[in-house]
Each structure stands twice: as structure tokens, then as C-alpha cells.
């Protein structure tokens, strides 16, 4: 979703640098609970799954900390175990925009790893997040040896392509309610973000960063969506009540 970047408020952590020890140096092995939250592990054969589990690394990213940076080599395939990340190009020479959010269960960067390129976007934590990483060579080894993993990656690419095509349509809309509705629907995508379920842990301020609107305007949009029976505003998050209708919101 490509919207104008809304900078973080003054009391948020700075986005220009990571705080404390670099993320990679804080990496540790994944726990059993964290491994259970990685959707693609389930498609692997037992021997492959056991081997990959030993190669996976996990770290906690603080608010504003960068997981990926524009121009840096892609050495890991990353996924979100818990928390919320933001994909943007705010270090590029063009207009700063936010592409999408990445909630729990989401894995990203397959295309960059497939082409062995550098990142063309930044990935930053909007809240404290648990992030997992699979080394580049392990990713390619799975592609060469597992048909099931290939199918998973192809499905990821296909679903994300559809998501970004839909995002281009939203770009042309000046209706804030529609932008909030469609972005929320994208974050509840069951294939791309299976860890979300029906409840997304997100604040109105965080949603504003992703959509490119003020917290006050996001609040108005959420109230309308709730009145229409599409979502329910819960403590600490949003619950989807009618995902198909949320995806169709604003359609003629």
C-alpha cells in the first residue's frame, strides 16, 4: 500500500538507527512456541524441518528499529512471530511512502532473496516485535530440495502481487474511510498473515502510520466501520467481523 509517510510522534523511538546492540548480535535460537508460529515449517518433511529449526534465528526488535535497510544485502528471509513491522522507502531519493504493514505470521523479501539483490525498502518495527530469520543459503537450499516449500513461496508471491495490485487502486482514492478499510482487510489476509486470526493487535496511531492519516482521522474511520458491523474495536486491537465486506468497502 503506497501512501505518503506519516512520521512517528516525538515520543516514539527514532527510526534512523537501532537502539543498543545491533539486532543480529541479539539473535538466539527459536523456542518451540516460536517455531510453531512459523507457517511454512509445517509443509516440510520431518528431517528438513528439524534441520531448518536449528538454522532459524530469532530476535526482539525495539520500536523504530530497522530489520532491513535500503541498499543492504539480503542475507535472511524474515518473518514476524509477534508484533508489527512497517515496509517503507523513507531513505530513498524519491517521495517517502509506506508500502504495507507486516503483522504476525507474515514473511517477506522472497523476491529480493531469489534475485540475491540488496533491499529496496526499509523494514522497521512499529511496536516491540519478535522477528525470525532464515539464512539466505538455507532459503535457497529449501527451494532446491522441497516441492512443498516451492509451492508455499509461489503462493506467497502470488498473493502479495494481488495485494499490491489492489493497493494501486486504493492509491487513486481520496476517501479516508476506504483507505482504512482496505488496509485493514489486507492486514487480515489469512494466507499472508496467518498469525493474525480475527484480532489484530494495533493502535490507532500505528494504523495511521501505515495508512498515511492522522490518529484522529483513523479514529473516525474505525467508528464508521464499527457502526457498519465490519469490525469491532477491542482493547489493544481490532477484531474483524466481516472480512469479505471489509474488502468490498466503498465498491460501487
Question: Where in the chain is CATH 2.60.120.10?
Answer: 3-163
Rounded CA-CA distance 125/68 in Å is: 10
How many helices (H) and strands (E) are present in the chain, helices listed first?
9, 13
pLDDT of res. 96: 63
Count other Cβ atoms within 10 Å, centred on residue 235: 4
Name the least confident of 127-136, 146-155, 201-210.
201-210
Percentage, residues of the chain above pLDDT 70: 86
Question: Which phi and psi (to 5°) does residue 81 adopt?
Answer: -85, -45
Percentage, residues of the chain above pLDDT 90: 69
For 65-93, write each residue's pLDDT tens digit: 999 999 999 999 999 999 999 988 875 45
- Rounded alpha-carbon distances, angstroms, from residue 62 to 32, 65, 83, 152, 185: 22, 5, 10, 29, 26
Q: Are 101 and 84 in contact (CB under 8 A)?
A: yes
Rounded CA-CA distance 50/40 in Å is: 13
Question: Where in the chain is CATH 1.10.10.10?
Answer: 174-248
Nearest to 88 by CA among 80, 79, 97: 97
Domain spanning 3-163: which superfamily?
A: Jelly Rolls (2.60.120.10)
Query: What class does CATH assign to 174-248?
Result: mainly alpha
Amino acid at each position: 500500500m503506497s501512501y505518503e509517510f506519516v512520521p512517528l510522534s516525538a515520543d516514539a523511538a527514532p527510526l534512523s538507527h537501532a537502539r543498543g546492540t545491533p539486532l543480529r548480535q541479539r539473535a538466539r535460537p527459536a523456542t518451540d512456541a516460536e517455531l510453531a508460529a512459523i507457517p511454512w515449517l509445517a509443509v516440510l518433511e520431518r528431517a528438513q524441518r528439524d534441520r531448518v529449526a536449528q538454522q532459524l534465528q530469532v530476535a526482539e526488535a525495539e520500536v523504530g528499529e530497522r530489520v532491513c535497510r535500503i541498499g543492504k544485502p539480503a542475507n535472511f528471509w524474515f518473518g514476524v512471530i509477534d508484533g508489527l513491522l512497517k515496509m517503507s522507502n523513507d531513505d530513498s531519493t524519491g517521495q517517502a511512502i509506506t508500502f504495507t504493514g507486516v503483522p504476525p505470521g507474515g514473511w517477506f523479501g522472497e523476491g529480493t532473496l531469489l534475485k540475491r539483490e540488496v533491499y529496496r525498502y526499509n523494514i522497521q518495527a512499529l511496536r516491540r516485535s519478535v522477528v525470525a530469520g532464515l539464512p539466505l543459503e538455507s532459503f535457497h537450499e529449501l527451494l532446491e530440495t522441497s516441492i512443498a516449500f516451492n509451492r508455499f513461496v509461489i503462493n506467497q508471491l502470488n498473493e502479495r502481487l494481488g495485494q499490491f495490485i489492489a493497493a494501486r487502486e486504493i492509491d487513486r482514492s481520496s476517501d479516508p474511510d476506504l483507505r482504512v478499510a482496505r488496509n485493514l482487510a489486507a492486514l487480515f489476509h489469512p494466507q499472508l498473515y496467518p498469525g493474525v486470526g480475527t484480532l489484530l493487535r494495533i493502535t490507532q496511531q500505528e494504523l495511521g502510520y501505515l495508512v498515511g492519516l492522522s490518529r484522529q482521522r483513523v479514529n473516525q474511520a474505525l467508528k464508521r466501520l464499527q457502526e457498519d458491523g465490519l469490525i469491532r474495536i477491542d482493547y489493544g486491537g481490532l477484531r474483524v467481523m466481516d472480512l469479505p465486506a471489509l474488502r468490498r468497502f466503498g465498491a460501487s
